[in-house]
Structure 1
Amino acid sequence: MDQFLKIFVGFDDREALAYHVFCQSIIEQCSAPVNIIPLCLKSLTKIYRESHHDGSNPFIYSRFLVPYLSNFRGTSLFFDGDMIFKTDPYELIPKDIDPNTAVSVAKHHYKTKFKTKYFGNKNEDYPRKNWTSVMIFNNAHPKNQILTPKFIQDQTGKYLHRLSWLEDHEIGELPLEDNWLVNEYAHNNEASLLHYTLGIPCIEGFQNSDHAEEWFDCYRRAMSGYTLGANSNTDSV
């Protein structure tokens, strides 16, 4: 692993607040410095043009650029933006990770309880649903070298999100607590990462979601710094 973690976070203009609250939780929980990189399509236009038109968010395919953006070196993490950390992100890295593992994910096996999610998007069941919402990439793994911008542009969502460039034994397994699906799974105070996969609590209709208060608490802590700064007397500066 590189000296400091590279954490790539999906950025959606419609949910910009989700990104900033998630970053607040990373900063609060990290035991060492991290590099936080937003996956924003506007900043990728020189290397990647989104050719897919079936995504519910703008980073649904660009997430697979993480090994490429990491120069195929070290370990990098990808997260959807609609999450908050409850523990140290460094603890997500398995201590005995197999070098033959190309990517590690929480291997969910569930049927959704809800037919729609944020902004009215369809919420359909499909194999390996939500596996790729949290990924720990072994960037240097030989099988990951195929993940170039052109390759990703040319593949279907089914191929990419089912991790079809890999054999099953090359996909490591994380505890479900490392990608706990709020409202799909029962309330869990032991979850290390809460994933508001149906919609973050500030979106209409999700204010009373399970674990909503934990998200709002993190939001308030982020905003308190802004409020303190805005209200401070800067005349003497």
Structure 2
Amino acid sequence: MIPIYIGYDPRESRVLDVARWSAYRRTSRPLQIQPLVLKELEAQGIMKRPMVVRDGKLWCPISEAPMATEFAISRFAVPFMRQSGWAMFCDCDVLFLKDPAKLLDLIDPSYAIMAVKHQQRESEAVKMDGQTQTFYRRKNWSSVVLWNLDHPSNKRLTNEMLNTWPGRDLHAFKWLEDHEIGELPLAWNYLIGASASELDPAEVSLAHYTLGGPWFAGWSGATQWDELWSREESILRAFEDAVQTPT
């Protein structure tokens, strides 16, 4: 099974726990899942970009734009952490609803990366937690990515580019041509409330709560998607309680 890197933000550590749990609970093969922690990448010398806080929100001086999470840029460090084979990156606000091993059937080595090629939608200017939505080419493609680390085109991405390019250029995979990006089915990065097409939960392999979810204080949603996430968190909590309870 390919390794999975999940973006980590200290404000959403429980969200990552649930995402990781949902993958482990449904996999048919052993998984290697690693949180992508910005401070660790900085300590390793991979990430060197400046980041500041403005009005209580993360800000990237290079991009002159807000950052919704600590892993807004660090997601592109995957090729510097692993040099060969395939690797997956996903945001933390996801639920695996199908076996992650099924991704192996979709891999095509002719592509440098594979992603769901979402169409741009600008219906939401602000996310539930108050973070500003930033719009750019290939928006949301980078939220779930299969990286072909052996593909020569990914060698174009240098550490200098990682640390000096504006975020919009990295999120647009500007070092890649269109024909070098393979397409994954929508089911593998279904943007709840934001995808161009609506899918039933039974059709979705990976649900992405890009606009927020029940973990936010004051969340008023009561959809089937909210129930799915809350149920997954409850199952995880019950497992944690059982492990901690002395026999």
Structure 2 length as normaliser, TM-score? 0.86
Q: Which amino acid aligns with 1:9?
A: I
The equivalent position to 1:59 in structure 2, one of 41, 62, 71, is: 71
The aligned residue for residue 34 of structure 1 is 31
Aligned equivalents of 2:68, 2:21: Cα separation in 1: 24
Per-residue deviation at 1:166? 0.5
Aligned equivalents of 2:126, 2:217: Cα separation in 1: 13
Q: Is the 8 A contact 1:7 1:76 kept in 2?
A: yes
Per-residue deviation at 1:180? 0.4
Query: Match of 2:35, SS?
Result: strand
Aligned equivalents of 1:158, 1:95: Cα separation in 2: 27
| Runs of 5+ consecutive residues of structure 2 not aligned to the other structure | 52-59
Aligned equivalents of 2:26, 2:111: Cα separation in 1: 26
Aligned equivalents of 2:208, 2:6: Cα separation in 1: 13
The equivalent position to 2:221 in structure 1, one of 208, 216, 220, is: 208
The aligned residue for residue 164 of structure 1 is 174
The aligned residue for residue 200 of structure 2 is 188
| Runs of 5+ consecutive residues of structure 1 not aligned to the other structure | none
The equivalent position to 1:79 in structure 2, one of 87, 90, 96, is: 90
The aligned residue for residue 15 of structure 1 is 12
Aligned equivalents of 1:207, 1:27: Cα separation in 2: 29
The equivalent position to 1:114 in structure 2, one of 124, 127, 130, is: 124
Going from structure 1 to structure 2, the CA distance change for 1:199 and 1:96 (only over 3 Å counts) comes to closer
Q: Which amino acid aligns with 1:202?
A: W
Structure 1 length as normaliser, TM-score? 0.90
Q: Is the 8 A contact 1:29 1:88 kept in 2?
A: yes
Alignment of structure 1 residues 115-134 onto 2, 5 Å? 115-134=125-144
Render the CA deviation track for 1:126-154: whole Å, top value 9, x for unaligned. 32111100000000111112334332001
Q: Which amino acid aligns with 1:67?
A: P
Residue range with higher mean Cα deviation, 165-174 or 181-190: 181-190
Aligned equivalents of 1:49, 1:92: Cα separation in 2: 32
Aligned CA RMSD, in angstroms, stands at 1.7
Q: Is the 8 A contact 1:84 1:215 kept in 2?
A: yes
Residue range with higher mean Cα deviation, 219-228 or 118-127: 118-127
Per-residue deviation at 1:196? 0.2
Aligned equivalents of 1:231, 1:146: Cα separation in 2: 51
Per-residue deviation at 1:32? 0.5
Count of aligned positions = 228
Q: Is the 8 A contact 2:136 2:168 kept in 1?
A: no
Whether 1:92 aligns to 2:103 is: yes
Q: Is the 8 A contact 1:64 1:147 kept in 2?
A: no
Going from structure 1 to structure 2, the CA distance change for 1:209 and 1:178 (only over 3 Å counts) comes to farther
Percent sequence identity over aligned pairs: 34
